[in-house]
Amino acid sequence: MVNSERVMIFIDGSNFYHILKDYFGNSKTLMDFNFELFIKNITEGKSLIRTYYYTAPLDKNKDERTYSKQQKFFEKLKKLPNFDLILCRMQKKRIDGEEIYEVKEDDIHIAVDMVFIGSCTNGRISDLENALQVLRGHKVHDSFRYQENGEWRSRVLVVPGSESVRDEAIRNGWDKEFREYGAEFRDVGCSLCLGMNTDRENKEVLIASTSNRNFANRQGDGAKTVLMSPSMAAYAAIQGKIGDVREHNYRN
């Protein structure tokens, strides 16, 4: 017996909406669209792993009626089998002294809320070096920075895989470099790999992680994990979203 091809589907909600509107006009809406049949047709003869639909939530205060329609559509998607709805996050910005909230991302790249570089799997000295090569000359995205007790903290965590790795990284001055670029250089430990101690997210967030497991709730209740290499994770830290590190502008 020949094993069938295994596939995952990623649907960019914003582009999909406009394509559907251009094709059907006003005769069909997203609520009318048969996603189960659509997915069945494009995966015929293949083994579907999962479908991911990502989009930005509308602002309830701007248009409550349209917001309500979107929420009903989200509820419809959540009932589909092997289907994940990923909502891009809102981020706070300060413009001319005024704090405003806007959608963090609404394009083909998926916004992430946290980055974890480390674990016993990808916390070797070579892994830290690969991540650092991407970060050099750049700063982590502003969306990862926050204040706690009057001090600036970062949701980009770098955790060496062993004491020997930590000691070598410190001798190389890499701990200072990571902090200079906006990441937190932590001591050795499991940390966010399995949600140890305070390194745990207890809400629906998307985490770019170099650990080796990504089942639901491992890194916190409701947290979702996207596994990637140290280089890709470092690139996500700069961009604030998942991207292709091959497009990166290295500044060694």
Please indicate, yes or no, whether residues 213 and 133 belong to a single structural domain of this protein.
yes
Please indicate, yes or no, whether residues 74 and 167 belong to a single structural domain of this protein.
no
pTM reported for the whole predicted model: 0.57
- Between CA 162 and CA 53 the distance in angstroms is 38
According to the model, what pLDDT value does residue 1 have?
42
According to the model, what pLDDT value does residue 107 have?
45
Query: Number of folded domains in the chain?
Result: 2
Please indicate, yes or no, whether residues 21 and 120 belong to a single structural domain of this protein.
no
According to the model, what pLDDT value does residue 231 have?
92
According to the model, what pLDDT value does residue 112 have?
79
Please indicate, yes or no, whether residues 170 and 228 belong to a single structural domain of this protein.
yes
According to the model, what pLDDT value does residue 234 have?
93
Residue 79, classified by CB atoms within 10 Å of its CB into exposed (0-12), middle (13-18) or buried (19+), is exposed
DSSP letter, residue 89? P
- State whether residue 247 is helix, strand or coil: helix
According to the model, what pLDDT value does residue 81 have?
85
CB atoms within 10 A of CB 220: 19
Tokens representing 200 are 């745990």
pLDDT per position in the chain (252 positions), as tens? Answer: 455 677 888 888 877 887 887 877 776 777 888 888 988 898 888 888 788 888 877 777 777 888 888 888 888 888 888 888 877 655 555 666 666 555 554 444 577 788 888 877 777 889 999 999 999 989 998 888 877 777 778 888 898 888 898 899 999 999 999 999 999 888 766 555 555 555 555 566 778 888 776 656 555 566 777 788 899 999 999 988 888 888 777 765
Please indicate, yes or no, whether residues 41 and 139 belong to a single structural domain of this protein.
no
- Is residue 216, in this structure, part of any structural domain at all? yes
- Between CA 125 and CA 114 the distance in angstroms is 22
- Is residue 95, in this structure, part of any structural domain at all? no
CB atoms within 10 A of CB 73: 18
Tokens representing 26 are 């006003």
- Between CA 212 and CA 159 the distance in angstroms is 14
DSSP letter, residue 3? P
- Is residue 92, in this structure, part of any structural domain at all? no
In sequence order, what are the residues at sequence separation of 6 or more whose Cβ sits closer than 8 angstroms to the Cβ of residue 133?
A: 231, 250, 252
Q: Which domain holds residue 156?
A: 114-247
**Residue corresponding to tokens 């016993």:** 120
